[in-house]
């Protein structure tokens, strides 16, 4: 049996591997989980002993196949729960993350199957993140780019939005920046702000927030 914290670490490593590729550095995990580097190091030693990660000194860690399977299962639980909370219990997309975090470690496989069936076997959660399949096959390669990296004048479609900050999500929802929405990059300012146009209205986003918004260029969406 793995502790909830161990599963959280494996999930975090998987997410970071998809964003930046392996190996995942200790400092990146510490930032993502909001803990100290020594705390991360201690937990990585435990995961290594269990064969869930492989470590390379001074470089970082990578999930083993067993560790990846655990991470995918936790992600599936989390994203199905987010979808169920939003669709059936009237939670907003800014409220579902913390609730799903609290529940994801404690649901049975039968409960998981029933939730998935009730939702019609969804492929993405309310934030646009892919939901792992029941057989926990690896997710397809990420073909999106960060909004912060898009040049002025380009038109893109929002693919997904980071679910880790409730206030940011509420702001984005209020301004129509959601998965499936088309927007144009109007300006990238020298003061760490990206200005986008949504439905004829300009929305100012800090670069940090724009980095957490993943998009597809217009040409790829229409291909």
| Banded pLDDT at 70 (limits 50, 70, 90) | very high
Which has the closest alpha carbon to 113: 73, 71, 69? Answer: 73
In a domain, 133, yes or no: no
| Banded pLDDT at 219 (limits 50, 70, 90) | low
Q: How many domains does the chain have?
A: 2
The count of residues in the chain is 223
In a domain, 30, yes or no: yes
List pLDDT tens digits, range 121-156. 999 999 999 999 999 999 998 889 999 999 999 999
In a domain, 97, yes or no: no
List pLDDT tens digits, range 24-63. 999 999 999 999 999 999 999 999 999 999 998 889 999 9
In a domain, 125, yes or no: no
Could you tell me the CATH number of the domain that includes residue 22?
1.10.10.10
pLDDT score recorded for residue 69: 97
Domain end among 63, 80, 110: 63
Domain end among 38, 63, 88: 63
Give the C-alpha separation, 197 to 185, whole Å: 7
Could you tell me the CATH number of the domain that includes residue 176?
2.30.30.90
In a domain, 123, yes or no: no
At 82 the three-state DSSP class reads helix
Domain end among 63, 90, 113: 63
Structural domain boundaries, residue 28: 4-63
What is the residue-averaged pLDDT of the chain? 93
pTM for this predicted structure: 0.89
In a domain, 80, yes or no: no
Locate 219 and state its tokens.
């040409």
Give the C-alpha separation, 77 to 181, whole Å: 26
- 24 DSSP assignment: B
| Banded pLDDT at 11 (limits 50, 70, 90) | very high
């Amino acid at each position: 049996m793995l502790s909830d914290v161990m599963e959280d670490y494996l999930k975090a490593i998987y997410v970071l591997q998809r964003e930046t590729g392996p190996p995942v550095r200790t400092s990146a995990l510490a930032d993502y989980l909001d803990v100290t580097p020594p705390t991360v190091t201690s937990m990585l030693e435990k995961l290594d002993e269990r064969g869930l990660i492989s470590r390379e000194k001074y470089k970082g860690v990578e999930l083993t196949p067993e560790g990846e399977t655990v991470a995918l299962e936790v992600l599936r639980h989390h994203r199905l729960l987010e979808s169920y909370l939003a669709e059936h219990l009237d939670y907003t997309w800014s409220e579902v993350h913390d609730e799903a975090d609290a529940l994801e470690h404690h649901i049975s496989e039968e409960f998981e199957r029933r939730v998935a069936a009730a939702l019609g076997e969804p492929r993405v959660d309310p934030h646009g993140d892919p939901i792992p399949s029941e057989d926990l096959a690896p997710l397809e390669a990420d073909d999106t780019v960060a909004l912060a990296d898009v040049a002025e004048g380009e038109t893109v479609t929002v693919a997904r939005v980071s679910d880790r900050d409730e206030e940011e999500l509420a702001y984005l929802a209020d301004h129509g920046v959601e998965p499936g929405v088309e927007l144009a990059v109007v300006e990238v300012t020298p003061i760490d702000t990206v200005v986008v146009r949504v439905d004829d209205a300009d929305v100012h986003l800090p670069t940090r927030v724009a980095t957490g918004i993943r998009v597809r260029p217009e040409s790829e969406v229409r291909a």
